[in-house]
Amino acid sequence: MGNAKWTPRRRKRKHLLWDIMDSTLCHLSQTRSRSKALGKQKNSFGNPVRLRPIDKEGQVQVIVETPRGSRNKYSFDPEQRMFRLKTVLPEGMSFPHNFGFIPSTRAEDGDPIDVLLMMDEPAFPGCVVHSRLIGVIEAEQWETDNSKERNDRLIAVSTASHTHSHVHSVNDLNPKLLKEVEQFFINYNAQLGKKFKVLAIKGPKSATRCMTQAKKHKKAA
């Protein structure tokens, strides 16, 4: 009688049941993995300002807003979680390098701290670029209502760049290039009715201190 219970048909049904259970468990596991991925997505592509400022390998993460060579100035809108067109530069004027910000930071103007990013080719809005800080442009900015605030710009180099692989400090750059960058920010603000005054250009240690301070401001906010 004991052997009669396990006929070939009953064995086949038992194996079929096991297959169904394995398939169900596999589906549940995949569903949980997708849920975790979507949960992480809220702090990543959907909201890049909440990404880590430094990755696990110690590289600075820069979120590109405006590509090099673009007349269009793009800006991330945290409420809509989309990149939007903020303004258009005059004819003959464009961004000399990729421009963006370091996530999870807060500058004195209340926004994530700005970064001028040097790399071989233009990136695109929303691109995350692993970088190293090489300096900072310390500056004051007067708004259209004549209020004044600090508005420093960090300078970084993509760690994947070939052209700038030798650049580890602003001292490694051509002084004329730095003057041109200064003039770009002066002209950019002037056409918006603002005044931009460069106080100093300092190296990577000052840039790191500036980023660290911006991280603290973000945590305290």
Instruction: Please tell me the distance from the alpha carbon of residue 48 to that of residue 50, in angstroms, as a whole number.
Output: 5
The pLDDT of residue 7: 61
Neighbours of 219 (CB within 10 A): 9
- Which residues are bridge partners to 133 per DSSP? 156
The pLDDT of residue 21: 63
The pLDDT of residue 38: 46
Phi–psi pair at 63, nearest 5 degrees? -95, 115
The pLDDT of residue 192: 93
> Strands 128-142, 195-202: parallel, antiparallel or unpaired by DSSP?
antiparallel
For domain 48-220, the CATH superfamily is Inorganic pyrophosphatase (3.90.80.10)
Model-level pTM? 0.80
Type of residue at 89: L
The pLDDT of residue 169: 98
User: What are the extents of the domains in the chain?
Assistant: 2-41, 48-220
In three-state secondary structure terms, 10 is: helix
| Mean pLDDT in order along the chain per 10 residues (221 residues) | 55 62 61 52 67 95 98 94 95 97 95 97 97 97 92 97 97 96 96 95 98 95 81
Contacts of 111-116 with CB under 8 Å at 24 or more apart are: 112/49, 112/63, 112/214, 112/218, 113/152, 113/154, 113/210, 113/211, 113/214, 114/151, 114/152, 114/153, 114/154, 115/62, 115/153, 115/154, 115/155, 115/156, 116/153, 116/154, 116/155, 116/156, 116/181
The pLDDT of residue 47: 86
